[in-house]
Amino acid sequence: MELPQTLHGRLYLLSYDRDRHCFDERKLPLLGYAVRAAMLTELYLTGYLTDDDGIARVASSSRPADPLLADTLAELTGRPARTWAWLATAGSTSTTAPVRWQLECGGWIDRRWRLSLGVIPVRRPGVYDEEAVGRLADSVARALRDAAGGRHTDPRTLAVGRIAVLGDLPDQFLVHDVIARPAEANLPPVLGLHTALDTIARIVAQQTYSGRCGRSRSFGCSSGFGCGGGCGGGCGGGCGGG
């Protein structure tokens, strides 16, 4: 089976769990961001978008043949220019369903009956050709290894691999210590995805940290950011209670 030509199509196929023989987007919270970044990367590599010191700008009045890419470009046309990081998160929650539907219509994804827990028949999306997905995973793994070793590799395949790593896709071929260095992700949309996910991680960590401090303050903490209690002073504040 011939694989889809688009980066977002190939990236979505890489989210297929070959051990469990299914797609499970619930276990891939970053998939929407990754698919969105793949679309932006495709538009950048094909000249529809250009980089202006971290800002994505529309560079062509024509439209891509792929309808999802055309819709994405139309969203950006005539609107204020944004950073790649901003664009990687915008609309990410509604990105995966159209891609999945496109792959179903194209014959790459099916919805056959499968057994859940080994006994319960359920309709789950899978792939028609697991071997083709395996070959795709192998080619991406090879591109990542070649890039890490300073060898030339196909930029499109490498871009898919770098986005897949940042999106924390499930396949074991994604060796994080090979590629997760942001300096290697030299394509602006990929750097934007890295920046966006890093910001999200910091916000989540800060909210978790604030929640701990808020709970600790009920046990005698009187000031600032520090709980002075259950966290062992790690919050940096003092306890005014006795």
pLDDT of residue 9: 97
Q: Is the pLDDT of residue 14 over 70?
A: yes
Residue with tokens 């789950």: 124
The band of 219, judged by pLDDT with boundaries at 50, 70 and 90, is very low
Domain segments of the chain as ranges? 7-212
pLDDT of residue 8: 98
63, 140, 90, 46: CA torsion to nearest 10: -20
Mean pLDDT of 107-125: 71
pLDDT digits (tens, 9 = 90+) for 134-170: 999 999 988 888 888 888 999 999 999 999 988 888 6
pLDDT of residue 135: 92
In the three-class reduction of DSSP (H, G, I as helix; E, B as strand; rest coil), residue 34 is classed as: helix
Largest CA distance in the chain: 71
Greater confidence (156 vs 242) lies with: 156
Greater confidence (151 vs 114) lies with: 151
pLDDT of residue 2: 82
Identify whether the C-beta of residue 190 lies closer than 8 Å to the C-beta of residue 164: no
CA distances from 204 to 154, 211, 216 (A): 35, 10, 18
Identify whether the C-beta of residue 114 lies closer than 8 Å to the C-beta of residue 121: yes
Residue with tokens 């999802």: 68
pLDDT digits (tens, 9 = 90+) for 91-103: 778 899 999 999 9
Q: What is the number of other CB atoms lying within 10 angstroms of the CB of residue 114? A: 15
Q: Is the pLDDT of residue 224 over 80?
A: no
Greater confidence (81 vs 180) lies with: 81
Question: Between β-strands 49-52 and 55-58, what pairing exists: parallel, antiparallel or unpaired?
Answer: antiparallel
pLDDT of residue 136: 93
Which stretch of 9-13, 85-89, 138-142 has the lowest confidence by average pLDDT? 138-142
First to last CA, the chain: 71
pLDDT of residue 49: 98
Q: What is the pTM of this model?
A: 0.78
Q: Which of 11-25, 57-71, 118-132, 205-219 has the highest mean pLDDT?
A: 57-71
In the three-class reduction of DSSP (H, G, I as helix; E, B as strand; rest coil), residue 68 is classed as: helix
**Identity of residue 28:** L
Q: Is the pLDDT of residue 116 over 90?
A: no
Tokens of 57: 């700008």
Identify whether the C-beta of residue 130 lies closer than 8 Å to the C-beta of residue 20: no
| Mean pLDDT for the chain overall | 80
The band of 175, judged by pLDDT with boundaries at 50, 70 and 90, is low
